[in-house]
Amino acid sequence: MTVSESAPALEELAERASALDTADPLATLRQRFVLPDGIVYLDGNSLGALPAAVPGALADGVHRQWGVGLIGSWNEHQWWQAPLRVGDAIGRLLGAAPGQTVAGDSTTVQLFNGLTAAARLRPGRRLLLTDPGHFPTDGYIADSVARLLGLEVRRVAVDDLPRCLAERGDEVAVAGYSPVDYRTGELHDMAAITRAVQDAGGLMLWDLCHATGALPVRLDKLGVDLAVGCGYKFLSGGPGAPAFIYVARRHQAAFDHPLTGWNGHADPFGLNGDYTPAPGVERARIGTPPILSLLALEAALTAFEGVGMEQVRAKSLSLTGYFIDCADTLLNGLGFTVVTPRDPHRRGSQVALRHPDAYALVRALAARGVIGDMRTPDLLRFGVNALYVSHRDMLTAVRHLREAVTRGEHRDPRLRQRATVT
């Protein structure tokens, strides 16, 4: 690399990366993924890399289970149980005992289901709380649920929640928040927020898209009411992988699902005209599940075998902390601001940098083999999946970023032209 870096500082960073990677107990897990040579992949918070177990599982699902087993595979290969089986496997990463998590549909659909059912569990309360900085779909769905049920949505930032709960807590039916801000990577205190909402008599629904597979969540221990999340980010289940919903056992008997599909019926093959919900979390099923996608997600989850979420968290914090150190040293004076909290207790599994030319810089980086992404208007995001990212990757990414900006690559008009997906 020809960039004019202070040699001793760079040497020190490189030595640190090498020492940290050598001591990394999770280093071999990278072999559980298929990553193209020469690529530094820091977009696993958007689309996880391909787990090595997935292609074989999909081929088996297609050729043997579907091709040979045909319809008999619903029983023979237990396709029917897949949403619950995969749900339980996800639940293990979330501190959820079996029988509370169902895999299927998209996060957006599961948000609709969870918010509606939560509001029905708190009749007479008319307030839905959501984060003004939430991923847009969360706010859109809260608005729609409120319109359907005649409720009111209030967008309340996490810092303003205590005041809102003090003023109108007795009206709150449900609060839907995300522990990790999808733009800045800020981590909120799940335990404190859950307690505050529940103390006011409301229910807590967490959107775990940026937490599942990235950090310990402890749903049962925190007494969370409901949670949803996706399968395609840190779980690496593939593009459009099934999402999930967690319904705490104590709420299941009264959980009134808004989408009363036949898969959630107590006797689905009785084909009755009247809907009777299944007794447990099965009532959170809807229609025929996407079996091939579930098989891919199930295989992807084997990448977590033998790995504790505490270990994943420790490595993730080491990676993001080291990335921030690299940025402080190598990007100093080049127009970047680290917006992700430096306090490890307040940091999710990504680092976001602010720069006015974020979009073109992310594209310049991609041309150099470093894949991150951007969030409008000016954030570069670097997601860190501790299962396949190394400290060396962090240093490589920051060095390329320094070189790209120093050479003015982001001024290339071709890189400034927007693509459909950013």
Ligand X SMILES: Cc1ncc(COP(=O)(O)O)c(C=O)c1O
Nearer to ligand X, 205 or 364 (CB): 205
Provide the minimum distance between the beta carbon of 207 and ligand X in the complex, in angstroms, as a whole number: 5
Which residues are CB-contacts of 381 (< 8 A; sequence separation ≥ 6)?
43, 45, 46, 183, 185, 350, 351, 352, 372, 373, 374, 375
Question: Is residue 107 a known part of a binding site?
Answer: yes
Nearer to ligand X, 178 or 194 (CB): 178
Q: Using CB under 6 A, which of the segments 112-120, 205-213, 261-269, 407-415 binds ligand X?
A: 205-213
Which residues are CB-contacts of 269 (< 8 A; sequence separation ≥ 6)?
none
Among 131, 138, 393, 403, binds ligand X (CB under 6 A): 138
Active site residue 232: yes
Question: Is residue 288 a known part of a binding site?
Answer: yes
Q: Binding to ligand X (CB under 6 A): which residues in 166-195?
A: 178, 182
Among 131, 207, 357, 393, binds ligand X (CB under 6 A): 207
Q: Using CB under 6 A, which of the segments 167-175, 204-212, 322-330, 356-364 binds ligand X?
A: 204-212
- How far is it, in rounded angstroms, from Cα 412 to Cα 378? 17
Picking from 274, 404, 399, the residue whose alpha carbon sits closest to that of residue 13 is 399
Active site residue 233: yes
Question: Is residue 260 a known part of a binding site?
Answer: no
How many residues bind ligand X, per CB under 6 A? 13
Active site residue 112: no
Q: Binding to ligand X (CB under 6 A): which residues in 80-119?
A: 106-108
Nearer to ligand X, 106 or 144 (CB): 106
Nearer to ligand X, 150 or 239 (CB): 239
Nearer to ligand X, 50 or 109 (CB): 109
Q: Which of 125, 363, 381, 399 is catalytic?
A: 381
Q: Is 135 in the site for ligand X (CB under 6 A)?
A: yes
Q: Which of 232, 244, 255, 322 is catalytic?
A: 232
Q: Which of 122, 233, 283, 347 is catalytic?
A: 233
Q: Is 209 in the site for ligand X (CB under 6 A)?
A: yes
Q: Is 353 in the site for ligand X (CB under 6 A)?
A: no
Nearer to ligand X, 178 or 252 (CB): 178
Catalytic residue ranges:
135, 207, 232-233, 381
**Residues binding ligand X (CB under 6 A):** 106-108, 135, 137-138, 178, 182, 207, 209-210, 230, 243
Annotated binding site for pyridoxal 5'-phosphate: 107-108, 135-138, 207, 210, 232, 262, 288
